[in-house]
Amino acid sequence: MTHLNHLYVLTVADMNATNPQLWNSWRATLMKQLYSQTRRILRADIDAPTNRQDMISATRKQTLTMLDNVNNQHMNRDEVLRLWDDLGDEYFLREIAEDILWHTEAILNHPPIGLASNADSPPLVVLREHRELALDAVQVFVYTQDQMNLFAVTMAVFDQMNLDVLDARIITATRDFALDSYVLLDPSGTLLLMKTVNKS
Protein backbone atom coordinates (compact mmCIF):
# COMPACT_ATOMS: atom_id res chain seq x y z
CA MET A 1 0.00 0.00 0.00
CA THR A 2 2.84 2.38 0.82
CA HIS A 3 4.50 1.76 -2.55
CA LEU A 4 1.16 2.28 -4.33
CA ASN A 5 0.58 5.59 -2.53
CA HIS A 6 4.08 6.80 -3.40
CA LEU A 7 3.70 5.71 -7.02
CA TYR A 8 0.39 7.55 -7.34
CA VAL A 9 1.74 10.80 -5.88
CA LEU A 10 4.95 10.56 -7.92
CA THR A 11 3.03 9.97 -11.16
CA VAL A 12 0.72 12.94 -10.60
CA ALA A 13 3.65 15.19 -9.67
CA ASP A 14 5.68 14.01 -12.67
CA MET A 15 2.86 14.61 -15.16
CA ASN A 16 2.26 18.10 -13.78
CA ALA A 17 5.96 18.97 -13.74
CA THR A 18 6.66 17.60 -17.21
CA ASN A 19 3.79 19.35 -18.97
CA PRO A 20 1.10 21.05 -16.83
CA GLN A 21 -1.12 21.45 -19.90
CA LEU A 22 -1.49 17.66 -20.16
CA TRP A 23 -3.03 17.41 -16.69
CA ASN A 24 -6.79 17.83 -16.76
CA SER A 25 -9.85 16.46 -14.96
CA TRP A 26 -10.15 13.56 -17.39
CA ARG A 27 -6.57 12.34 -16.79
CA ALA A 28 -6.97 12.97 -13.06
CA THR A 29 -10.07 10.80 -13.07
CA LEU A 30 -8.35 7.97 -14.95
CA MET A 31 -5.42 8.04 -12.52
CA LYS A 32 -7.70 8.07 -9.50
CA GLN A 33 -9.76 5.20 -10.89
CA LEU A 34 -6.65 3.11 -11.50
CA TYR A 35 -5.35 3.92 -8.03
CA SER A 36 -8.67 3.16 -6.31
CA GLN A 37 -9.19 -0.16 -8.06
CA THR A 38 -5.62 -1.27 -7.40
CA ARG A 39 -5.96 -0.29 -3.74
CA ARG A 40 -9.21 -2.25 -3.48
CA ILE A 41 -7.49 -5.37 -4.84
CA LEU A 42 -4.50 -4.98 -2.52
CA ARG A 43 -6.78 -4.56 0.49
CA ALA A 44 -8.98 -7.53 -0.44
CA ASP A 45 -9.04 -10.37 2.05
CA ILE A 46 -6.48 -12.99 1.08
CA ASP A 47 -9.15 -15.63 1.68
CA ALA A 48 -11.70 -13.88 -0.54
CA PRO A 49 -13.74 -16.30 -2.66
CA THR A 50 -12.42 -17.02 -6.14
CA ASN A 51 -15.23 -19.31 -7.27
CA ARG A 52 -17.95 -17.56 -9.29
CA GLN A 53 -20.84 -18.84 -7.16
CA ASP A 54 -18.95 -18.10 -3.94
CA MET A 55 -18.38 -14.51 -5.10
CA ILE A 56 -22.09 -14.07 -5.82
CA SER A 57 -23.04 -15.51 -2.44
CA ALA A 58 -20.49 -13.33 -0.66
CA THR A 59 -21.79 -10.17 -2.35
CA ARG A 60 -25.41 -11.01 -1.52
CA LYS A 61 -24.51 -11.82 2.09
CA GLN A 62 -22.55 -8.57 2.48
CA THR A 63 -25.47 -6.57 1.08
CA LEU A 64 -27.96 -8.31 3.36
CA THR A 65 -25.74 -7.49 6.34
CA MET A 66 -25.73 -3.84 5.29
CA LEU A 67 -29.52 -3.98 4.88
CA ASP A 68 -29.92 -5.32 8.42
CA ASN A 69 -27.55 -2.67 9.79
CA VAL A 70 -29.46 0.25 8.27
CA ASN A 71 -32.76 -1.34 9.37
CA ASN A 72 -34.51 0.12 6.35
CA GLN A 73 -38.28 0.15 6.89
CA HIS A 74 -38.95 0.50 3.15
CA MET A 75 -37.49 -2.89 2.25
CA ASN A 76 -38.89 -6.26 3.21
CA ARG A 77 -36.23 -8.98 3.26
CA ASP A 78 -38.40 -11.45 1.32
CA GLU A 79 -39.16 -8.84 -1.36
CA VAL A 80 -35.45 -8.06 -1.60
CA LEU A 81 -34.54 -11.72 -2.13
CA ARG A 82 -37.28 -12.18 -4.74
CA LEU A 83 -36.00 -9.14 -6.64
CA TRP A 84 -32.41 -10.37 -6.47
CA ASP A 85 -33.39 -13.75 -7.89
CA ASP A 86 -34.59 -11.91 -11.03
CA LEU A 87 -31.47 -9.79 -11.49
CA GLY A 88 -29.13 -12.57 -12.59
CA ASP A 89 -25.64 -13.66 -11.57
CA GLU A 90 -23.81 -11.10 -13.69
CA TYR A 91 -25.28 -8.27 -11.64
CA PHE A 92 -23.82 -9.61 -8.38
CA LEU A 93 -20.45 -10.25 -9.99
CA ARG A 94 -20.08 -6.71 -11.31
CA GLU A 95 -21.74 -4.53 -8.67
CA ILE A 96 -20.57 -3.79 -5.14
CA ALA A 97 -22.72 -4.16 -2.02
CA GLU A 98 -23.20 -0.41 -1.46
CA ASP A 99 -24.54 0.10 -4.98
CA ILE A 100 -26.73 -3.02 -4.83
CA LEU A 101 -28.36 -1.72 -1.66
CA TRP A 102 -28.96 1.67 -3.30
CA HIS A 103 -30.38 0.05 -6.47
CA THR A 104 -32.58 -2.35 -4.50
CA GLU A 105 -34.21 0.39 -2.44
CA ALA A 106 -34.84 2.48 -5.55
CA ILE A 107 -36.39 -0.44 -7.49
CA LEU A 108 -38.65 -1.54 -4.64
CA ASN A 109 -39.89 2.03 -4.10
CA HIS A 110 -40.67 2.48 -7.81
CA PRO A 111 -43.94 1.31 -9.43
CA PRO A 112 -43.34 -2.11 -11.04
CA ILE A 113 -42.20 -1.78 -14.64
CA GLY A 114 -43.56 -3.88 -17.47
CA LEU A 115 -46.74 -5.08 -15.78
CA ALA A 116 -50.14 -4.61 -17.43
CA SER A 117 -51.38 -2.75 -14.35
CA ASN A 118 -48.46 -0.32 -14.64
CA ALA A 119 -48.13 -0.01 -18.39
CA ASP A 120 -47.39 3.69 -18.14
CA SER A 121 -44.78 3.35 -15.41
CA PRO A 122 -41.69 5.30 -16.52
CA PRO A 123 -38.17 3.88 -16.35
CA LEU A 124 -36.44 4.23 -13.00
CA VAL A 125 -33.64 6.82 -13.10
CA VAL A 126 -31.92 7.75 -9.85
CA LEU A 127 -28.72 9.64 -9.17
CA ARG A 128 -26.38 10.62 -6.38
CA GLU A 129 -23.02 12.24 -5.81
CA HIS A 130 -20.02 10.04 -6.54
CA ARG A 131 -16.72 11.26 -5.10
CA GLU A 132 -14.60 8.18 -5.76
CA LEU A 133 -13.63 8.91 -9.36
CA ALA A 134 -13.85 12.70 -9.38
CA LEU A 135 -14.99 15.50 -7.11
CA ASP A 136 -17.71 16.63 -9.49
CA ALA A 137 -18.90 13.18 -10.58
CA VAL A 138 -22.47 11.89 -10.38
CA GLN A 139 -23.61 8.28 -10.36
CA VAL A 140 -26.74 7.51 -12.40
CA PHE A 141 -28.67 4.23 -12.24
CA VAL A 142 -31.22 3.31 -14.92
CA TYR A 143 -33.63 0.38 -14.50
CA THR A 144 -36.05 -0.35 -17.32
CA GLN A 145 -37.15 -3.03 -19.76
CA ASP A 146 -34.35 -3.80 -22.17
CA GLN A 147 -34.83 -2.33 -25.63
CA MET A 148 -32.98 -1.84 -28.87
CA ASN A 149 -30.27 0.85 -28.81
CA LEU A 150 -30.91 1.74 -25.15
CA PHE A 151 -27.22 2.35 -24.50
CA ALA A 152 -26.82 4.49 -27.64
CA VAL A 153 -29.86 6.60 -26.79
CA THR A 154 -28.67 7.09 -23.22
CA MET A 155 -25.21 8.14 -24.38
CA ALA A 156 -26.75 10.60 -26.85
CA VAL A 157 -28.70 12.22 -24.00
CA PHE A 158 -25.54 12.52 -21.90
CA ASP A 159 -23.74 14.05 -24.87
CA GLN A 160 -26.50 16.63 -25.36
CA MET A 161 -26.13 17.56 -21.68
CA ASN A 162 -22.33 17.96 -22.14
CA LEU A 163 -21.61 15.20 -19.62
CA ASP A 164 -18.50 13.01 -19.83
CA VAL A 165 -18.89 9.31 -19.03
CA LEU A 166 -16.17 8.10 -16.65
CA ASP A 167 -17.54 4.61 -16.09
CA ALA A 168 -20.41 2.50 -17.42
CA ARG A 169 -21.75 -0.90 -16.38
CA ILE A 170 -24.39 -2.29 -18.74
CA ILE A 171 -26.15 -5.38 -17.36
CA THR A 172 -29.24 -7.23 -18.59
CA ALA A 173 -31.19 -9.10 -15.92
CA THR A 174 -32.69 -12.55 -16.41
CA ARG A 175 -36.14 -11.05 -17.20
CA ASP A 176 -34.76 -8.78 -19.96
CA PHE A 177 -34.47 -5.75 -17.74
CA ALA A 178 -31.61 -3.30 -18.17
CA LEU A 179 -29.59 -2.41 -15.07
CA ASP A 180 -27.33 0.35 -16.34
CA SER A 181 -25.04 2.32 -14.08
CA TYR A 182 -22.99 5.34 -15.14
CA VAL A 183 -20.51 7.65 -13.46
CA LEU A 184 -20.62 11.05 -15.15
CA LEU A 185 -18.43 14.11 -14.92
CA ASP A 186 -20.80 16.97 -14.10
CA PRO A 187 -18.64 20.12 -13.83
CA SER A 188 -21.63 22.47 -14.16
CA GLY A 189 -23.66 20.65 -11.50
CA THR A 190 -26.50 20.04 -14.00
CA LEU A 191 -27.56 16.63 -12.71
CA LEU A 192 -27.35 17.50 -9.01
CA LEU A 193 -29.32 20.67 -9.67
CA MET A 194 -32.02 18.60 -11.41
CA LYS A 195 -32.11 16.26 -8.41
CA THR A 196 -32.58 19.18 -6.01
CA VAL A 197 -35.34 20.70 -8.14
CA ASN A 198 -37.18 17.39 -8.43
CA LYS A 199 -37.13 16.93 -4.67
CA SER A 200 -38.64 20.36 -3.96
Question: How many CB atoms lie under 10 A from the CB of residue 140?
Answer: 21
What sign for the dihedral angle of Cα 168, 173, 176, 177? Answer: negative
Calpha distance 138→185 (Å, rounded): 6
Note the helical H segments in 137-189: 150-160
Going by C-alpha positions, the residue among 81, 139, 129, 132 that lies closest to residue 108 is 81
CB neighbours of 33 closer than 8 A, spacing ≥ 6?
A: 133, 166, 167
Calpha distance 148→96 (Å, rounded): 27
Calpha distance 16→90 (Å, rounded): 39
Question: How many CB atoms lie under 10 A from the CB of residue 37?
Answer: 11
pLDDT per residue of the chain (200 residues) written in tens, 0 to 9: 889 899 999 988 988 888 877 777 777 877 887 888 788 777 765 555 567 888 889 999 999 999 888 765 667 888 999 999 999 888 998 899 999 999 999 999 888 876 544 456 688 999 988 877 666 788 999 999 888 899 999 999 988 888 888 888 889 888 788 999 998 887 776 666 565 445 54
Contact in structure between 89 and 179 (CB atoms under 8 Å)? no
Sheet with 164-172, side-by-side order of all strands: 124-130, 137-145, 177-185, 164-172
pLDDT value of position 49: 57
pLDDT value of position 117: 46
As a whole number of angstroms, the longest Cα–Cα distance in the chain is: 62
State percent of the chain over pLDDT 70. Answer: 82
Angle of helix 2-18 relative to helix 25-43, nearest 10 degrees, comes to: 170
The pLDDT tens digits for 95-107 are 999 999 999 999 9
